[in-house]
Amino acid sequence: MSLRALRRARFHSICAAAVLVSAGLVSPRAGLAQESDYFTKKLAPSVGTPEHAVDKMLEAAQLKPGETLYDLGCGDGRILVKAAKKYKVKAVGIEISRDLAEQAAEDVRKKGLEDQVKVIHGNFLKTDLSAANVVTLYLAPTANDALRPNLERELKPNTRVVSYDYPIDGWSPLNTWKMSGHLGDVHVIYLYRVPDSIKK
Ligand SMILES: C[S@@+](CC[C@H](N)C(=O)[O-])C[C@H]1O[C@@H](n2cnc3c(N)ncnc32)[C@H](O)[C@@H]1O
């Protein structure tokens, strides 16, 4: 098995276990809890999107000045900061890890972007997404599955959803782009638009 395949398998197994626990199907004590906060509300591990992929995701989103981007699971806030600086949009990040949310907010302060960027320490499954024009995701299939009903219920027409590496099952992408990773591995960016991408 390649290094990439191993990383993917680990990413998937962490996310699958987290979703089972969130759904109350598995106890966090049931031998799974090496990384305990994955097993409450955390639906994806903390791995930042590579900068060249962030650039492509933002370009794919076709952001216009004055629009609002939501990054669900914003990590260190790299997508928020780049979107605000380059595209003059508002950006909102939701992050379950207190440390990462504080790190992202600190970076926003340092860069003087507080008027444009807001970082919320919270659970994206419990956040109202209706103000978004663009949603960015780097989660996992299981997390995308958990999020999909919220996206379908709350996003307004013409909202774009851009996902790195993992598609939203049941939706049809408008476009996809393949990107090379640092190890020569291949990553995919998926662009969706509501409501056209939602299969009936
Ligand atoms: C793979 S990282 C992506 C980080 C960032 N979006 C980026 O592209 O660089 C996924 C992030 O989602 C966060 N996360 C996982 N479950 C979450 C939840 N239910 N609510 C908010 N954030 C969550 C993790 O803590 C992690 O920082």
Q: Is residue 20 part of a domain?
A: no
Q: Is residue 117 part of a domain?
A: yes
Give the pLDDT score at 39: 43
Q: Is residue 155 part of a domain?
A: yes
Region 172-183: mean pLDDT is 90
CATH of the domain at 159: 3.40.50.150
Total domains, the chain:
1
Q: Probe ligand 1: pick from 47, 100, 102, max atoms within 8 Å of CB? A: 47
Q: Is residue 28 part of a domain?
A: no
CB 160 within 8 A of CB 192: yes
This prediction's pTM: 0.85
Nearest CA to ligand 1 atom 9: 48
Query: In this structure, what DSSP letter does residue 188 have?
Result: E
Give the pLDDT score at 10: 55
Q: Is residue 159 part of a domain?
A: yes
H or E element at residue 176: strand 175-180
Q: What's the pLDDT tens digit per position in 11-49?
A: 555 555 444 444 333 333 333 333 444 444 788 888 899
Pocket of ligand 1 (CB under 6 A): 41-49, 71, 73-75, 78-79, 94-97, 100, 123-125, 138-139
Helical H segments across 37-132, by residue range = 51-61, 78-87, 98-110
Q: How far apart are the C-alpha atoms of 11 and 133, rounded to whole Å?
A: 28
Q: Is residue 161 part of a domain?
A: yes
Domain that holds residue 61: 45-193
Give the pLDDT score at 199: 78
Q: What's the pLDDT tens digit per position in 55-111?
A: 999 999 999 999 999 999 999 999 999 999 999 999 999 999 999 999 999 999 999
Q: How many residues does the chain have?
A: 200
Q: Is residue 170 part of a domain?
A: yes
Region 176-196: mean pLDDT is 92
